[in-house]
């Protein structure tokens, strides 16, 4: 299936094959054969919550059909989450997915991560479309508590941010570099977080509540899966995972910590007065969160860093999951780094990703056309991805923020994405609005929003 000729090219990545076009072309071609059969994907999460996606496929498990279904499953698994996957449709297709998503399959990483996230062995159930459980979604209202003296924090892979907030207004913000991914001692993480809390507390007459935003999968204030804790030995992981509960005991105030993506969506709702919000933060990784049109959070994973956006078999590989074409390589510091050779920009080999991004930003300030091409390329990626996301998320506003979107380059990213939507997806362009916070909020807005997570004690 050749998609290259039908897309708006990404300047520095001419082999980019948008997943949204691949999916649409497959479904359209399948309809024309007259042999289409239903396929229903079901994902069961905690408390028997179920999300469903319905589509059509060819009845045989040919290579193109398996490519479509496997990438679809991968998207849904990381967008919605689930400890049990139902594949309702042709048996051979279900059995192929069952083999791929197994302890010895190509998606062993995903198998292990879902097992860890939902505290049960991940299971793929091969069944018929009619037997996939009905949808049962949770709508959790969260955040928006502005009264009182609060501390909010946002933990990223290269820096962490703190804000002291009084009645919804930030009176202090701070941003500190750190390197949590390489640290094997949980006390490193604990002491950095606590030192930030104390710095913020110095600007408050008292501390009524603490709210946090962190990369990773967080359930009941515990970190289940997170790149921040990648170096922690298994024997110490439980201690590291319960850092936030330890802080709650020591500070004796309400503490609520959520995935950074969901806090991104909350930040958008608070700063822009909008609901139906898909928040996307482009920083050390790609974070995402979703708030529905009623201002509620479904409790999905929204780990779009791992979802496929590029169907090019030779797309860049994510060093963690070992998969190709996933969001982290398109919407993060890693995306900028990936595009440096094509932009003919050479930087010292030992230079870290945050510093590499700063160099590109400095080149933008100087009017360097090579740096602009990097942002144009990311903007093309984003335009197609927003159209893809719209097929799985019912949103009206896309809030785009994070370090990669800071400065002139961020303006180029947004402009390119808007062009893609208007030209190739006019129905999506009419439905959603791409929105950005102001420059200050792009960098510390999540910490301020996180401060609003806990309700005060009555």
CA nearest to 70, candidates 90, 31, 96, 52 = 96
CA nearest to 192, candidates 216, 228, 166, 168 = 228
Q: What's the confidence (pLDDT) of residue 448?
A: 82
What's the CA gap between 311 and 71, in Å, rounded?
A: 9
Mean pLDDT for the stretch of residues 272-276: 78
**pLDDT tens-digit map of 329-341:** 999 999 999 999 9
Q: What's the confidence (pLDDT) of residue 69?
A: 98
Dig out the tokens for 209 from the structure: 């509540």
Q: What's the confidence (pLDDT) of residue 140?
A: 66
Q: What's the confidence (pLDDT) of residue 212?
A: 93
**pLDDT tens-digit map of 227-243:** 789 899 989 998 999 99
Q: What's the confidence (pLDDT) of residue 4?
A: 45
Among the listed ranges 19-23, 102-106, 180-184, which one has the minimum average pLDDT value? 180-184
Q: What's the confidence (pLDDT) of residue 359?
A: 97
Domain extents for the chain? 35-131, 144-458
Pairing of strands 217-219, 222-225: antiparallel
Q: Which residues pair with 288 in a beta bridge?
A: 280
CATH, domain 144-458, list 3.40.50.720, 3.30.390.50, 3.40.50.261, 3.30.420.40: 3.30.420.40
Dig out the tokens for 422 from the structure: 């208007």
User: pTM of the entire structure?
Assistant: 0.84
If you ran DSSP here, which 8-state letter would residue 181 be given?
G
**Model confidence band, residue 395 (pLDDT cutoffs 50, 70, 90):** very high
Q: What's the confidence (pLDDT) of residue 138?
A: 79
Q: Are 267 and 445 in contact (CB under 8 A)?
A: yes
Packing angle, helices 19-33 and 63-80, rounded to 10? 130
pLDDT at 37 over 70: yes
Neighbours of 63 (CB within 10 A): 7
Mean pLDDT of the chain, nearest integer: 91
What's the CA gap between 95 and 331, in Å, rounded?
A: 33
φ/ψ of 165, rounded to 5, equals -130, 130
Among the listed ranges 265-269, 307-311, 449-453, which one has the minimum average pLDDT value? 265-269
CA angle 8, 12, 15 (to 5 degrees): 65
What's the CA gap between 298 and 138, in Å, rounded?
A: 5
Three-state SS at 319 = coil
**Using alpha carbons only, how large is the chain's radius of gyration in Å?**
22
């Amino acid at each position: 299936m050749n998609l290259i000729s039908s897309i708006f090219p990404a300047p520095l990545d001419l082999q980019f094959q948008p997943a949204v076009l691949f999916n649409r072309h497959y479904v359209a071609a399948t309809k024309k054969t007259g042999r289409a059969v239903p396929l229903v994907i079901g994902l069961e999460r905690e408390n028997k919550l179920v999300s469903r996606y319905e589509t059509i496929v060819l009845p045989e498990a040919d290579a193109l059909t398996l490519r479509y279904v496997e990438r679809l499953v991968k998207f849904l698994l990381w967008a919605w989450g689930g400890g049990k996957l139902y594949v309702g449709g042709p048996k051979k297709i279900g059995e192929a997915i069952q083999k791929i998503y197994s302890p010895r399959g190509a998606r062993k990483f995903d198998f292990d991560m879902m097992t860890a996230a939902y505290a049960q062995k991940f299971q793929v159930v091969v069944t018929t479309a009619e037997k996939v459980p009905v949808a049962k979604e949770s709508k959790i209202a969260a955040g928006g508590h502005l009264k009182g003296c609060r501390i909010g924090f946002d933990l990223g892979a290269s820096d962490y941010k703190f804000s002291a907030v009084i009645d919804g207004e930030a009176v202090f913000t701070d941003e500190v570099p750190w390197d949590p991914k390489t640290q094997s001692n949980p006390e490193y993480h604990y002491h950095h977080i606590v030192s930030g809390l104390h710095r913020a507390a110095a600007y408050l007459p008292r501390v009524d509540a603490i709210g946090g935003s962190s990369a990773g999968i967080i359930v009941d204030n515990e970190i289940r899966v997170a790149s921040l804790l990648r170096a922690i030995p298994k024997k110490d992981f439980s201690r590291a995972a319960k850092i936030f509960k330890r802080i709650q005991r020591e500070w004796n105030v309400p503490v609520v910590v959520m995935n950074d993506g969901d806090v991104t969506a909350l930040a958008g709702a608070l700063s822009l007065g909008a609901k139906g919000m898909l928040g996307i933060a482009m920083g050390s990784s790609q974070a995402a969160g979703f708030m529905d049109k009623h201002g509620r959070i479904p409790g999905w994973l929204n780990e779009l860093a791992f979802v496929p956006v590029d169907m090019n078999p030779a797309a860049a590989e994510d060093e963690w999951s070992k998969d190709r074409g996933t969001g982290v390589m398109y919407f993060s510091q890693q995306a900028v780094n990936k595009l440096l050779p094509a932009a003919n920009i050479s930087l010292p080999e030992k230079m870290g990703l945050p510093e590499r991004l700063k160099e590109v930003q400095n080149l933008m300030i100087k009017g360097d056309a090579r740096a602009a091409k990097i942002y144009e390329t990311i903007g093309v990626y984003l335009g197609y991805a927003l159209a893809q996301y719209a097929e799985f998320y019912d949103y009206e506003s896309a809030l785009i923020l994070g370090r990669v979107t800071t400065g002139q380059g961020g303006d180029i990213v947004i402009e390119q994405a808007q062009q893609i939507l208007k030209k190739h997806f006019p129905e999506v362009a009419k439905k959603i609005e791409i929105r950005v916070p102001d420059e200050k909020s792009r960098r510390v807005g999540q910490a301020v929003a996180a401060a609003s997570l806990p309700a005060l004690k009555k």
